[in-house]
Structure 1
Amino acid sequence: MKRLLGYLLSPVYLLVFGLLLVVFHPIQIVCRLVGGYPLRKKSVDILNFLLIYSLVILGTRIRFRGFEQLPQGRPFIIVSNHQNTLDIPPIVWGFRKHHPKFVSKKELGKGIPSISYNLRHGGSALIDRKNGRQSIVEITKLGKHIEKEQYCASIFPEGTRSKTGLVKSFQPAGIASLLRAAPSAWVVPFVIDGNSRLMQKGYFPLAFGTRLTYTVLEPIDPSGRDVKELTLEIENKIKAHLNQA
């Protein structure tokens, strides 16, 4: 029955998903022109709330945990596992009070309604993964931005999505660049659990009745820490939370 419901309801969700991106693209533009960054950000928050909670169409159960632990009065870096494109809405919505910015490949900065516009105008770092120098420059700019504004930055140190949900090795370079540019930042391990099961077969059919859990683990003060050791510690904590240790 769940398989049949997945086939029947996936087109409904995907239609809603696409319509939300198309409708909110001009809304973002108007909000930016009329009210600048604050009003545009509110439109982005609403969009991502709708993107994630419209998954109830597929009988999805959604839970956010541990957000009361987030550092206050300082910037921080969200270090997360990466399962698919649906990892973004829970970060935007869950961390909305802290103005999350992303380290993203530059290809996503064009051609996708709402998403590309937000990446280009929301303060995120669009990196060329074939150009190490450009990547460091952009990530450093992002680090300085969150340090100044006391915002947060989100990075997926696996570098690419894990379609199976098994956590790949974390690379420390991006985290190191952010920490150098934002010396007062703490590190927040963030666990995405369930998105890979939801999209086990790709965009069609999406799985019916999936449980999605988004968990903030205990924040870490990186002062005096070796970044490679810190990155490995975060990787292991996320794996342990997902029972992959």
Structure 2
Amino acid sequence: MITWLMYLLVTILFMIVLVLSSDSHDVIRFNVRFILYYLVSSIIALGSMPFILLRPKNVKNCRDLSVLLRQITKILGIEWELRGADELSIERGCIIVANHQTTLDILGMFNIWGVMGKCASVAKMEVFYAWPFGLAAWLAGVVFIDRRNSSKAVTTLNATSLLVKHEKTKMWIFPEGTRNKTVLKTGMLPFKKGAFRIAIENQVPILPVVFSPYYFINEKTRYFGRGKVIIHTLKPIFTDGLELKDVDDLIIRTRAVMLDAFEALTKEVLSPLPPDYPGQVL
């Protein structure tokens, strides 16, 4: 057992040194950065499980666990800037909708969870099976939905919405439903209706959150450098008096303000880059 742990520790230290040594296009370094992210996340999740079990399924577990998980940021060399923290920090029930580009979005959430406070994140069931992280996430209060079983997914979301309505808990949903790998071309994928139905049914506001593009990652050239991601919390969109027939209009209005913000953030982070920058460029 001790020998196995020593091998694991040496492997992690080697990977960290490799990650910190260069921002090249090297395929090995590119993959090692993601592997290190998943590996360290899993180790932290596994080590935290005894503490999570003291209050299982409590959304405060995610907030506390994020203190450790966000330290991975320092290894990967990503800087997170939160704008609109005053809106995000208000203790209220609301539905947070955010654009989704990569698994690193979760790392961004870890870095702002202390500001959010009580928040129940919604994730697809596939993440649950990525043990030990998935198991720890479930015990920490993450809500997993099976997109292949729509009726069961709706039941799960309705049950979670009670926390939003009665316990001033925020619910975080990626309305695109999947990662958008062509973000600089499409901006955002079409939004699914679930988050907006919940907001109207419970008469709670939609709180849009926009991540700027990960310009320092380029899967085609296998580049993963250092960079900054801006997380911008926009003004809430209130649903008082709206009915389910207004869902489509609410989606259109929400997506429009998020696209405007994304385009502005894209120009801000890309404009200072040199023409030969190896990451993503328009």
Among residues 130, 133, 136, which one is paired with 1:111 in the alignment? 130
Shift of 1:9: 5.0
SS in 2 for 1:101: strand
Q: Quick one: structure 1 residues 221 and 87, their matched pair in 2 at CA, closer, same or farther if it must change by over 3 Å?
A: same
Q: 2:217 touches 2:225 (CA, 8 Å); kept in 1?
A: no
Q: 1:164 touches 1:200 (CA, 8 Å); kept in 2?
A: no
Among residues 253, 267, 271, which one is paired with 1:233 in the alignment? 253
CA distance in 2, matches of 1:55, 1:164: 22
Q: 1:31 touches 1:43 (CA, 8 Å); kept in 2?
A: no
Give runs of aligned pairs for residues 144-155 of structure 1, distance below 5 A.
144-155=162-173
Q: 1:20 touches 1:47 (CA, 8 Å); kept in 2?
A: no
Matched AA of 2:142? S
The superposition leaves residues 192-221 of structure 1 with CA deviations (integer Å, 9 ceiling, x where unpaired) of 1123x344307x834313331111011122
Aligned to 1:208: 225
SS in 2 for 1:215: strand
CA distance in 2, matches of 1:171, 1:40: 28
Among residues 138, 146, 153, which one is paired with 1:120 in the alignment? 138
CA distance in 2, matches of 1:231, 1:39: 29
Q: Percent identical across equivalent pairs?
A: 21
Aligned to 2:150: 132
Aligned to 2:90: 72
Give 5+ residue unaligned stretches, structure 1. Answer: none
Shift of 1:46: 1.7
Aligned to 1:243: 263
Matched AA of 2:149? N
Q: Quick one: structure 1 residues 21 and 233, their matched pair in 2 at CA, closer, same or farther if it must change by over 3 Å?
A: same
Q: 1:32 touches 1:39 (CA, 8 Å); kept in 2?
A: no
Q: Quick one: structure 1 residues 5 and 29, their matched pair in 2 at CA, closer, same or farther if it must change by over 3 Å?
A: same
Give runs of aligned pairs for residues 4-23 of structure 1, distance below 5 A.
5-7=24-26, 9-10=29-30, 13-14=33-34, 16-23=36-43
SS in 2 for 1:129: coil
Q: 1:69 touches 1:218 (CA, 8 Å); kept in 2?
A: yes
Aligned residues: 234
> So what's the TM-score if we normalise by structure 2?
0.72
Q: 1:175 touches 1:227 (CA, 8 Å); kept in 2?
A: yes
The superposition leaves residues 124-169 of structure 1 with CA deviations (integer Å, 9 ceiling, x where unpaired) of 3321212111111011111112223211111111111110212111
CA distance in 1, matches of 2:60, 2:168: 19
CA distance in 1, matches of 2:96, 2:106: 12
CA distance in 2, matches of 1:78, 1:30: 29
Q: 1:103 touches 1:153 (CA, 8 Å); kept in 2?
A: yes
Give 5+ residue unaligned stretches, structure 2. Answer: 1-21, 265-282
Among residues 205, 208, 219, which one is paired with 1:186 in the alignment? 205
Aligned to 1:223: 240
Aligned to 1:177: 198
Q: 2:176 touches 2:191 (CA, 8 Å); kept in 1?
A: yes
Shift of 1:12: 5.6
Q: Quick one: structure 1 residues 138 and 217, their matched pair in 2 at CA, closer, same or farther if it must change by over 3 Å?
A: same
Among residues 188, 196, 201, which one is paired with 1:167 in the alignment? 188
Among residues 104, 110, 114, which one is paired with 1:86 in the alignment? 104
Q: Which moved more, 1:132-141 or 1:86-95?
A: 86-95
CA distance in 2, matches of 1:84, 1:143: 26
> So what's the TM-score if we normalise by structure 1?
0.82
Flag the structure with larger Rg. 2
Which structure is higher in RCO with an 8 Å CA cutoff and minimum separation 6?
1
Q: Quick one: structure 1 residues 190 and 78, their matched pair in 2 at CA, closer, same or farther if it must change by over 3 Å?
A: same
